[in-house]
Structure 1
Amino acid sequence: MTSTTAASSIRVDDLRKSIRNGSRTVEILRGISFDVAAGEFVAIVGSSGSGKSTLLGLLAGLDTPTSGNVVLNGTAISYLPEDKLAEVRGKLIGFVFQSYQLIPTLTALENVLLPHELNAPASEQKAGRERAMELLQAVGLGERAEHYPVQLSGGEQQRVALARAFILRPPIVLADEPTGNLDSKNGAHVMDLLLDLNQREGTTLVLVTHDPAVAAHATRVLTVRDGEVIADERKSVEQV
């Protein structure tokens, strides 16, 4: 496998994913390769069934490819043991889900804090709480920190999820249709907050979307069709 360069935050090498469906093998990804530079904002677009969400799951180490590999900040993750993979994910990746994935029995503050409590030493818990409150304030929810998910609107829950994704200052943030469950007004607000946090924190951002308005914010757009990247468009700053 070709080694990753220092400038690459993400490297995808000949990534393939197939599943058995009875006697038939279904190819979901068909040999995808690309690099993402540190600090780059990439949108992955494509129709339903194109393979874009499968690709994002493989980037996050949530699934194992049939062949090929994903390298994050120099670490090949695709075939790591689960305990090692969980450790790498905790250090390198913040993930924003379309369906928020908040724990209903935890407050907004506790949901944001959870990755920190799972990955940071006990000596840093006070700093983690301060960081969580700063992030909630940054997404406009400082006064809602003690509210439970059921007491929050969909847009507010997604803003909690954004804060949670950034709590550990991950070098890479992955987002799966982060505005897909929101109306256009709340979706635009969440997208603005995501971009603001991303620029402030200096992370690499890879986002899957079917919405051209969301993809228009990216500096690079990868179009996936039938498990292959059919277009790789880079934009100038003036075009974003």
Structure 2
Amino acid sequence: MPTALITGASGGIGKAFAEELAAQNHNLVLVARSEKKLNELAEQLSKKFQVKVDIIAKDLTETGATNSVFEFTQQQGLTIDLLINNAGFGDYGDFAETDEERQIKMIQLNILALVDLTHKYLPLMRQRRSGSIINISSIAAFQPMPYLSVYSASKAFVRNFSQALWAENRQYGIRVLVSCPGPTETDFFTEAKFPPTLANKSNQISTPEEVVQETLKALERGDSTVVIGGFSTHVLTKVANLVPRETLLNLLEKQFKA
């Protein structure tokens, strides 16, 4: 029975991954900050699907947190067949006026924790010549976004990093996929402190379950990248390459200014 490790597993897309993979007979290692939510989810999934669910209540922005995750799986003798780096958050606002610590934590979670966990588990996958990694990015990865400057930059990093790993690791039988969802029914806009006038402006909002289904299908196809959302979402990913950069930035600044 394969084992999947999912970060940010207590809600949203991470929880949807846990539910879908448990239904597909995967054992799970669930990582998130809330021990209570993880325990509730683990109990629910283990009873319903008869799978083994381990939980690790960790804030991945804390020093040594990724080491603790890796050491736990090693001590338990767990082989991680599928790593899903889902944990992340955004923060809306004029960068010069934002909270510095929150911007640093965003980089620590969206980039550093993802890179560190990937670097810990990828060599083991290479040794076995099997395994899969899914990194959750965003359509924000396709262009700079005023008032979401650090978030969009972090997601661009995740996209480029993942695509490079896809090319490096095909020869080892390892699949690497970056999933770039558009607007999704999660707490993202609330957590990012979006102004109500800007939050959920799109009329094409995916459910976490739709994101998971499309992502897993793309993984099975061996794709390097999947963009998830309606027609306008896919158009947005192309516009950045067609419009002069200053024109694009001026449009985005006006669109996202509260």
TM-score normalised per structure 2: 0.30
TM-score normalised per structure 1: 0.32
Q: Per residue, is there more strand in 1 or in 2? A: 1
**Greater relative CO, 1 or 2 (CA 8 Å, sep 6+):** 1
